[in-house]
Chains A and B, each alone.
Chain A
């Protein structure tokens, strides 16, 4: 079985995120880059499926040069090979453009299963897995808290507000996973050292046969008109409990329309 895991490098979860003054895109240089947390679960699930069913795990990313670190992180966890789509013309791509680029890269490589984390911590849209599936004409079995592959079928438990749905699809298919699904492994030191020797295919937009006109900030369907920094936290309201603290808090919550 050939499994693709799509991963994204995002600014460190705890870092303060900033937008660039020149083009209103996320300033990726301002903070350390890390693998999007949910993508670690996706890599882990791909590795487990490959270990159980046999097969190869290829990690796919689209992002600036230093996103190669995120590819290597997945390789150090145990993935077999990497594909890194990197090109200046990708900068500022929206979700539609991202899904177009990823779908083309994936389509050219004939995967049995494509696994995504269900959202990124920077954009938080959760739409790319569905868009990629649609572009590839594949079933999308998303928000999985459990994944089983049996022969030519994939069965998942889709996490819902009230529990889960059992969903099945024929392979090839696109799966996205939620954090409940597993506990991602640490890269072992041997894995870290072996990662350097694993093959990583670095592609430009031209290499991937993509139409640059459909990519980047100019092709995006939405634009940031303006932005402002979040105002500093205002001083909080101090409620002194004189035996009526509970009532005062209830009044406050009602006034603020929280309850």
Chain B
């Protein structure tokens, strides 16, 4: 009798009934709504983002861990578990939700004026309005402080110029949170995407996150009113706080993709016979499964520990780096190993594995590259910054 990798460690014992109930809803939704269609979305490079956003909004997924303004106000652990179930569907689908909730909505919630919150958050929680988040530029990824996008005063107004790259939800967004240099340092701006001078163009020819919208944003003398600026944060602290929210979700999310790969590979290997016996019965395959289940379980314990710290308002950026670094890395390794177990079948979209594997290449890089998280932890351990 085969046992599921995470039930091996009785992970559910660590969850409350409410957390399990929220997870069950997302798992059911992903099983019925996402999994049957996502391979086609991935292949065609197109997702019904608007429809999905409304459905996510109805469940309460968007900005689910924020308080007020129509947000559900769940625990951080529940948010992490939801991210995990979404990413068991597809990293691109989880990205849509992460960017909406943890980047765009969180920025407004944490740093916006009460007018910003009233104007945007209720519609974003319902999924009627979609948000994106512009920090990374073509030439400034790991080092955002060098960004070229700038906002200059023109009377009371702001004039925004520049561009942002690799922006999830970019072409479907109603509002962009854009970080720009000003005379007063880096500031955030709430930019309705129908403002003249704002353009978003979709990035094609991706081999990863194909069930996700990725765009370049260009600002050509975009005139914004004075109150477009997020009043309550200055400097890189603002965007980094948002990224920490999203990275927290990724520490859980990647495990969902890994779990889906591992469960797929185990059930495949039990059915697949070579030399007149199931390949799951071979020692080499079993060693792969054991190593992967151990890593998945460790990653889950790490994620839950981070979740409890976050719910107790004790979590640090370095701790989130440990979660993102380890779980993105191990999930990618698990996906690759599972791909090998499925042999030729592992390269088709008939099975979820190569889709997860290719997606995780992006997740490994975005929201802080593996290298940057390594150096953040190195700095915490030594007091020496290796990257400045």
Contacts and interface: CB of A to CB of B under 8 A. Distances in A.
Interface residues of B, number: 16
Contact of A188 (B18, B28, B60, B78): B60
A193 B17 contact: no
Contact of A189 (B17, B28, B64): B64
Contact of A69 (B17, B59, B61): B17
A72 interface: yes
B21 A72 contact: yes
A196 B18 contact: yes
Contacts of B28: 186
B169 to A, nearest CB: 21
B78 A189 contact: yes
A193 B25 contact: no
A76 B61 CA distance: 15
A193 B18 contact: yes
B139 interface: no
A1 interface: no
Interface size class of chain A, counting residues whose CB lies under 8 Å from the partner chain: 10 to 19
Interface string A182-212: 0000111110110110000000000000000
B61 A186 contact: no
Given A193-B72, A193-B74, A186 B59 contact: yes
B29 interface: yes
A158 interface: no
A73 interface: yes
Interface in B42-65: 58-61, 64
B13 to A, nearest CB: 14
Contacts of A73: 21
Given A188-B72, A189-B64, A193-B18, 11 more contacts: A72-B17, A72-B21, A76-B21, A186-B28, A186-B58, A187-B25, A188-B58, A189-B59, A189-B78, A190-B60, A190-B73
29 contacts: A69-B17, A72-B17, A186-B25, A186-B28, A186-B29, A186-B58, A186-B59, A187-B25, A188-B58, A188-B59, A188-B60, A188-B72, A189-B22, A189-B25, A189-B60, A189-B61, A189-B64, A189-B72, A189-B74, A189-B78, A190-B60, A190-B73, A192-B18, A192-B21, A192-B22, A192-B25, A193-B18, A193-B73, A193-B74
The 7 closest A-B pairs by CB, nearest first: A189-B60, A189-B72, A188-B60, A192-B21, A190-B72, A186-B25, A189-B74
